A and B are shown apart, each in its own frame.
Chain A
Amino acid sequence: MNYTPVIGLEVHAELKTKSKMFCGCSSDYFGQKPNTHTCPVCLGLPGALPVPNKKAIEWCIMIGLALNCKIANFSKFDRKNYFYPDLPKGYQISQYDQPFCQKGSVKLANGKQIGITRVHMEEDTGKLIHQGDSTLIDFNRSGVPLVEIVTEPDFENAKEVVEYLKKLQQIVRYLSVSDADMEKGNMRLEPNVSLRKKDVKELPKYKVEVKNINSFRFVEKAIVFEIKRQTEILENGETPAQETRGWDENKQKTVSQRAKEAANDYRYFPEPDIPPIRFTQDQISKIKSQMPELPIAKLSRFIKDYLLSEYDAEILTREKDLADYFEKTVNDAKDSVKYLTIRPSPKIIANWLINKRPDIDKILPARLIKEIILAGELTRVDDIELEKVIKKILFENKKAVADYNSGKIQVIGFLIGKTKQHFPKADTNQIKTMIGKLISLYT
């Protein structure tokens, strides 16, 4: 391909504050009876005024800090004027030229830095429900706090985008500021895609935005599709149209929604109902101090403190709940079960959590420790001893080996079983790893 994709991303994340952005209504709208979480403010009744939710602003700043942004000392809200039936005031309160957070970055696994242009605060709209010839409006979602995170056009392929999205989702979940649940719509994605010639530096003259994407898988498919579509157009000597497209999962393609020429002039101006907001360095430091440990920091700490492999540590830190549970179990194993002579090591606890996937909402760490102990004295077998035995087993079970190597990897269970006859108390993970290492030698 003679073209390099230029991809940027806009992500909207709904915050899970108790109340809405500008009124006291509950923001927990999901599955509620329509129009039961409303008041004069979020219905846009005459005379109603917005009062900003302090917690939501703090959380927006936390997201900005987690994405290494600069936090503005002076910021304000603006009105974005446009008509749509789900927007009761005829304008959305958003931020235009002075967002709370700007100029951040996120590092991908390959070391590449993705620039964060801005992180700003706004309000969600109501929801239209089309029924036959009529349209109903549910304002329960109207005014729910929404954080918009915009990246620089730094991505070059769909894989990078998905990696970034997973990281972002993980960060907001760690901060406990959003459920970032794609299915419930509390995280919404809008990639913009264009292509430039391989050795050209400047950005392409057009941009295609893709909307209505509600899963990471679809975002990947939509980007891959767009790259292919735009390449074909460019190779015919034409320029793709500047437009907004939507992902159609049934047709497995993007479809044009509206040409950019008809784009709205939003007539932004400072929201006169909300005074500008100033932050002192102290206030920002205070917000920073309230932030929990972020995934990257936790990952390296797990590797260092618990002597875990990067692979294990990554799995354990993927979700904060699991990471917390792991640490609690390790500590409980150290402290509260001192009377036990056998104490599972962090590595054994990690293996147990990764392989057996116990229901951590139901099983308390103390009980888990007991289960691990009852399951057998989990000891690490000497690697040389283990290798000898496994080599022998692999030699004796040529059919299983051949099956495994041709893709039927589930036969590994049979081989683990054979090995366990020799080492009944051995850590399954250790056996599994060793078989995996040796089996390819027996093709």
Chain B
Amino acid sequence: MKLNQLTIKQAQEGLRNRKFSSVEITKACLEQIKKHDKKLNAFITITEREALESAGKADELVSQGETLQDKPLLGIPIALKDIFSTKGIRTTAASNVLKDYMPVYDATVVEKLKNAGAVIIGKTNCDAWAHGSSGENSDFGPTKNPWNTEYVPGGSSSGSAVSVASDMCIVATGTDTGGSIRHPASFCNVVGLKPTYGRVSRYGIVAMASSLDSIGHITKTVEDSAIILNTASGKDPKDATTLGFPIPDYTESLKKEIKGIKIGVPREYFIKGTDPQVSALVKKAILVLEKQGAKIVELPHTQFANPCYYIIQPSEVSSNLARYDGIRFGLGRENFGDEAKRRIMLGTYTLSAGYYEAYYKKAMQIRTLVKKDFESAFTKVEAIITPVSPTLPWKLGEKVDDPLKMYLSDIFTITANLAGIPGLAVPCGFAEGLPVGMQILGPQFSEELLFQIGYAYEQATEWHKQKPNL
């Protein structure tokens, strides 16, 4: 096994036992990037010099006897979605508006990852401003799916999913406003976590839609996902929406048996229009976890979730993008791409006097109903399993001219953002040579449970071990 193929867990053990050094892992990742990124376009910025420097420092610390107690991620190469502010490393949001923007500060999560010893290897490509479901909407060119480069890798955290799936790094961060972590994770056969809203600080991450943005990560295994959440989560005095909910050691309870757990399947997520191959794989996956099959639950307001999301999200986007006026930093507003302009116009319209009541306010009421749907479902079952995407990955260019079709690819993921609940995407098979993922949803702050279910499934299957043939 090559060092760049390691999981966090394996890298931690190897580093602790001095089987290899952080510099060696980092070099292996850099080499993989050099070899394949021309084709895949997962990175916008590669921080080779800084990465090797901090890997060297990590090795020094290990040789001085630093335990992983204080620095659990010591020496582990990580890629950051290019909307995480990184002090002194340009942060573009994959938009021409910020193509030369150099942050003067680190996002809270970046600070935490650095303090934990992680080695930042580069900034990954994504849909500009995290607007998109395919990774094609980047001013730095589309990212390609490593399983078939004619296909999209999913978005918006496209580069993060691809860099992990193709072993260009050990782990990558992402953001999920309507599915932007879970979606590309499922298209690339990797694990993606969208934590509970308020679990991980948003401070320093270019805002898309503030009430929906969740900060998570993409990993090779469920266990790795738990390791990163241990570091990333917690109340941040700089983010008033983070909550002081206790942080368990997510890795500790991982292996707890889940026998007898009640899993629900929402009728509304197995509908016409969903690719039958996808439905079949997810149903098969549920049988692995529960031999008798899952309980059917109702989430009656699901059909309104998409229109509701496409009012709230652009409303917040239109306001959040107002600061990009080219006066203090970045370039002027003429550099916004079509999708950003579309959302600015939609949001400005729905917030306008006379329309606010009819659109934004109504959407907020529906949002409450979606939330209540989940609350009531979670009184009957402990977790819900659904497909991540209604379709298999599609061909590059297939949906770029049809924004509505593109928006519909998020229908199974946006509900978790509206409700503020966590969702974990786990690989569950292949169809036509392309990966399919399932998502495990639970009540707010139930990440431990999601990891237990995901881990149990991983132990019983081999899907996550499949690697693309690059």
Contacts and interface: CB of A to CB of B under 8 A. Distances in A.
Interface of A: 40, 43-52, 79, 81, 83, 85, 88-91, 137, 265, 267-269, 272-275
Interface in B60-93: 83-85, 91, 93
Contacts of B101: 46
A167 B327 CA distance: 41
Interface string B185-216: 00000000000000000111111011100000
B325 A90 contact: yes
Interface stretch (B35-43, B146-154, B347-355, B422-430): B347-355
B351 A267 contact: yes
Interface stretch (B6-14, B223-231, B315-323): B315-323
Interface residues of B, number: 43
Q: Which of A40, A49, A137, A273 has the most CB of B within 10 A?
A: A49
Question: How would you classify the secondary structure of chain B's contact residues: helix, strand, loop or mixed?
Answer: loop
B202 A49 contact: yes
Contacts of A46: 85, 91, 93, 98, 101, 103, 206-207, 323-324, 329
Contact of A51 (B240, B319, B348): B240
Contacts of A79: 319
A267 B318 CA distance: 10
Interface string B216-241: 00000000000000000000011111
Nearest 6 CB-CB pairings of A with B: A90-B322, A272-B211, A267-B351, A272-B210, A47-B204, A46-B206
Contacts of A51: 237-240
A48 B316 contact: no
Contacts of A88: 323, 328
Given A89-B323, A269-B360, 15 more contacts: A44-B328, A45-B85, A45-B105, A46-B98, A46-B101, A47-B84, A47-B206, A48-B203, A49-B203, A52-B240, A91-B319, A137-B328, A267-B351, A269-B315, A275-B240
B356 interface: yes
B39 to A, nearest CB: 30
A48 B204 contact: yes
A40 B104 contact: yes
Nearest to A80: B319
Contact of A45 (B104, B315, B351): B104
Contacts of A89: 322-323
A255 B447 CA distance: 62
B360 A83 contact: no
A47 B105 CA distance: 10
Interface in B369-391: none
B206 A267 contact: no
Contact of A265 (B206, B327, B353): B353
A49 B239 contact: yes
B319 A275 contact: no
Contact of A90 (B103, B204, B323): B323
B10 to A, nearest CB: 32
A81 B351 contact: yes
Q: Which of A46, A51, A275 has the most CB of B within 10 A?
A: A46
A89 B19 CA distance: 50
A222 B238 CA distance: 44
Contacts of A40: 104-105, 204
B15 interface: no
A49 B323 contact: no
A268 B350 CA distance: 11
A300 B83 CA distance: 61
Contacts of A268: 351, 356
B441 interface: no
B130 to A, nearest CB: 12
Contacts of B316: 269, 272
B107 interface: yes
A378 B98 CA distance: 77
Given A267-B352, A272-B211, A49 B325 contact: no
B15 to A, nearest CB: 31
Contacts of B85: 45-47
Nearest to B98: A46
Nearest to A274: B240
B377 to A, nearest CB: 25
Q: Which of A44, A137, A265, A269 has the most CB of B within 10 A?
A: A269
25 contacts: A40-B104, A44-B328, A45-B328, A45-B329, A46-B85, A46-B91, A46-B98, A46-B323, A47-B83, A47-B84, A47-B202, A47-B205, A47-B206, A49-B203, A51-B239, A83-B325, A88-B328, A90-B321, A265-B353, A267-B318, A267-B319, A267-B352, A268-B356, A269-B360, A272-B210
Contacts of B240: 49-52, 273-275
Nearest to B210: A272
Contacts of A273: 210, 239-241
Given A47-B107, A47-B203, A83 B315 contact: no
A269 B319 contact: yes
B261 to A, nearest CB: 32
B323 A44 contact: yes
Contacts of B211: 272
Contacts of B203: 47-49
A269 B319 CA distance: 10
Q: Which of A40, A48, A79 has the most CB of B within 10 A?
A: A48
Nearest to A39: B105
B19 to A, nearest CB: 38
A88 B330 CA distance: 13
A84 B331 CA distance: 17
A88 B101 CA distance: 16
Interface string B93-113: 100001001011101000000
Contacts of A137: 327-328
B322 A83 contact: yes
A273 B209 CA distance: 10
Contacts of B91: 46
Nearest to B364: A270
A381 to B, nearest CB: 67
A49 B201 CA distance: 10
A81 B323 contact: no
A111 B353 CA distance: 40
Nearest to A271: B210
Interface in B303-323: 315-316, 318-319, 321-323
Contact of B348 (A48, A52, A267, A274): A267
A44 B206 CA distance: 11
A45 B322 contact: no
Q: Which of B107, B204, B321 has the most CB of A within 10 A?
A: B204
A49 B238 contact: yes
A265 B355 CA distance: 11
Nearest to B105: A40
Contacts of A265: 352-353
Nearest to B329: A45
B239 A269 contact: no
A268 B354 CA distance: 12
A234 to B, nearest CB: 30
B312 to A, nearest CB: 9
A91 B320 CA distance: 9
A66 to B, nearest CB: 27
A137 B241 CA distance: 30
A275 B322 contact: no
